């Protein structure tokens, strides 16, 4: 085995670390550690940053141990980080201790702040400069809430005593022994605070949200050395941290969506569709987001993004909340025991609706229940609800692009569900392509780290994604049945939005 690239994928429900062969990018070791979830109140979701860090260290050591090499740590040549993007941490610069648990991207507590800012006319400014809409999803209002609600936080922030970071920033801080305070352009583009064109923190946006620039990290590219390891259990000092990208951008890169018009969808806790739109940050006309796809040497790319906040989390709800299944993997077999979902439609708005509706107050809805409805119908309706949410995003994306999406690459845990993928192909009316390696989020971080550390000369030297299977929607039902399902979905969405 050659040298190793460590790819750290810090997600909402778990941290996965891959030990990638630095020459072939094949996975040589892997470890996943669960992330404890904290729910202090309705609509509130938090993580303990120190629990995240301890999980990352455990996953690093587990991945290295699984290579079977006694000297695996000494072989690490670069580290890449990808992360849940909008989750927000504030910590004391002197002690390194968080002043509050991290507020997770799913958290809706800042809905009132967003509404006040809309009432003040701030949203057009945010959309023009940052490419985003005002929603509790993004980091900026989470920072505002922490400054307003944690004792002395605003005074300390104004004095420069506090540091803000998304999870990538927190991990670089910890990996470097506190030496670095940095983020990359993809994560910065999710804060409401960065100008998409200049790729810098924007004074006007900071003023509108009431956030001091003293707490902000330096913005770096997605493939450059930003720090070196120091004092990390299982790793030598001096390993370069050379790649950073938010999870969805890392997946876009890992899928090889390098050409303008390329589209991917990642199915995780939520589901996220991104389209590469090239070197110009074109605004959406259909309530999608414009975001930075990556910044690598010689190239900055942008993307249109549609976000569905609940995907795999809906299956988890069937398992943990309703007890309909014992494990997430059971849902496909159960759903296949019925030909369709009957009249049952499930809108999985368990934490509000994302694009293109942007309704944080919306809640989940199940319609069409009858005496003949079984748990199998609910299972199939759940898969359909996930796929229908994505279909709305792809439709909006096609309208923005001026042409229907013809092909979509998929990844993430739920992409292993063949029924879901076939339903998705039928509902988006496009070819759905699944790679052999569905951990493309972590792979993307590893590829960026290889570029940033100079282990490969340029992007063209990176390996191409290999195809496992393509889906055409053949087993999803007749076209008339698919159109009937979409009609019932539209009615259910209208009821959800009332």
Element (H, E) at 56: helix 49-66
Start-to-end CA distance of the chain, whole Å, equals: 58
Listed by start position, the domains of the chain span 4-248
Instruction: Compute φ and ψ for 167, nearest 5 degrees.
Output: -65, -30
Which of 387, 404, 210 minimizes the C-alpha distance to 315? 387
Element (H, E) at 54: helix 49-66
Element (H, E) at 367: strand 365-367
How many Cα neighbours within 13 Å face the side chain of 301? 28
Pick the CATH number of 4-248 from 3.30.420.40, 3.40.30.10, 3.10.20.80, 2.60.40.1120: 3.30.420.40
pTM, rounded to two decimals: 0.90
Coil/strand/helix, residue 66: helix
Answer whether 243's CB lies under 8 Å from 78's CB.
yes
Q: How far apart are CA 477 and CA 422, in angstroms?
A: 10
Predicted confidence pLDDT, tens digits, the chain (498 residues) = 589 999 999 999 899 999 999 999 999 999 999 999 999 998 899 999 999 999 999 999 999 999 998 899 899 999 999 999 999 999 999 999 999 999 999 999 999 999 999 999 999 999 999 999 999 989 999 999 999 999 999 999 999 999 999 999 999 999 999 999 999 999 999 999 999 999 999 999 999 999 999 999 999 999 999 999 999 999 999 999 999 999 999 999 999 999 999 999 999 888 999 999 999 998 999 889 999 999 999 999 999 999 888 888 899 898 999 998 998 889 999 999 998 898 899 999 888 888 888 887 888 899 999 999 999 999 999 999 999 999 999 999 999 888 888 899 999 888 999 999 999 999 989 899 999 887 889 999 999 999 999 999 888 888 887 888 999 876 666 677 788 888 999 999 988 887
Digit-coded pLDDT (tens) for 397-411:
999 888 888 899 999
What's the Cα-to-Cα distance from 356 to each of 128, 288, 326, 409, 497, rounded to whole Å? 17, 6, 33, 20, 12
């Amino acid at each position: 085995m050659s040298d190793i690239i460590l790819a750290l994928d810090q997600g909402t429900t778990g941290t996965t670390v891959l030990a990638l062969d630095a020459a072939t990018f094949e996975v040589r070791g892997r470890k996943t550690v669960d992330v404890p979830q904290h729910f202090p109140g309705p609509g509130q979701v938090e993580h303990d940053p120190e629990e995240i860090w301890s999980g990352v260290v455990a996953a690093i050591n587990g991945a290295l141990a699984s290579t079977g090499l006694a000297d695996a740590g000494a072989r690490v040549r670069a580290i890449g980080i990808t992360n849940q993007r909008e989750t927000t941490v504030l910590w004391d610069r002197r002690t390194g201790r968080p002043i509050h648990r991290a507020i997770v991207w799913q958290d809706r507590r800042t809905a009132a702040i967003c509404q006040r800012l809309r009432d003040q006319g701030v949203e057009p400014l945010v959309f023009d400069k940052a490419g985003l809409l005002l929603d509790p999803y993004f980091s900026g209002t989470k920072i505002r809430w922490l400054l307003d609600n944690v004792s002395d936080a605003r005074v300390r922030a104004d004095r420069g005593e506090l540091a803000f970071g998304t999870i990538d920033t927190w991990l670089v801080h910890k990996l470097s022994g506190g030496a670095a305070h940095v983020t990359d352009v993809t994560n910065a583009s999710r804060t409401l605070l960065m100008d998409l064109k200049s790729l810098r923190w924007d004074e006007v946006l900071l003023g509108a949200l009431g956030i001091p620039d003293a707490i902000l990290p330096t913005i770096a590219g997605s493939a450059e050395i930003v720090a070196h390891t120091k004092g990390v259990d299982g790793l030598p000092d001096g390993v370069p941290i050379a790649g950073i990208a938010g999870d969805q951008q890392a997946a876009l890169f890992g899928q090889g969506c390098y050409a303008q018009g390329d589209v991917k969808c990642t199915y995780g806790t939520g589901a996220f569709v991104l389209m590469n739109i090239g070197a110009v940050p074109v605004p959406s006309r259909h309530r999608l987001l414009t975001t930075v796809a990556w910044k690598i040497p010689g190239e900055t790319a942008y993307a249109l993004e549609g976000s569905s906040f609940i995907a795999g989390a809906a299956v988890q709800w069937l398992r943990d909340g309703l007890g309909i299944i014992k494990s997430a993997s059971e849902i496909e077999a159960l759903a296949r025991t019925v030909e369709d979902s009957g009249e049952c439609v499930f809108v999985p708005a368990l934490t509000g609706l994302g694009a293109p509706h942007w309704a944080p107050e919306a809640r989940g809805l199940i319609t069409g229940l009858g005496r003949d409805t079984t748990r199998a119908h609910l299972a199939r309706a759940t898969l359909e609800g996930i796929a229908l949410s994505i279909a709305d995003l792809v439709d909006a994306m096609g309208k923005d692009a001026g042409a229907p999406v013809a092909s979509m690459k998929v990844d993430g845990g739920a992409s292993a569900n063949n029924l879901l993928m076939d339903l998705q192909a039928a509902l988006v009316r496009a070819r759905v392509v699944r790679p052999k390696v569905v951990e493309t989020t972590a792979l993307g971080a590893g590829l960026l780290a290889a570029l940033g550390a100079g282990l490969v000369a340029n992007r063209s030297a990176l390996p191409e994604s290999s195809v496992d299977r393509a889906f055409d929607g053949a087993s999803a039902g007749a076209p008339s049945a698919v159109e009937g399902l979409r009609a019932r979905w539209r009615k259910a969405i209208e009821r959800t939005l009332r």
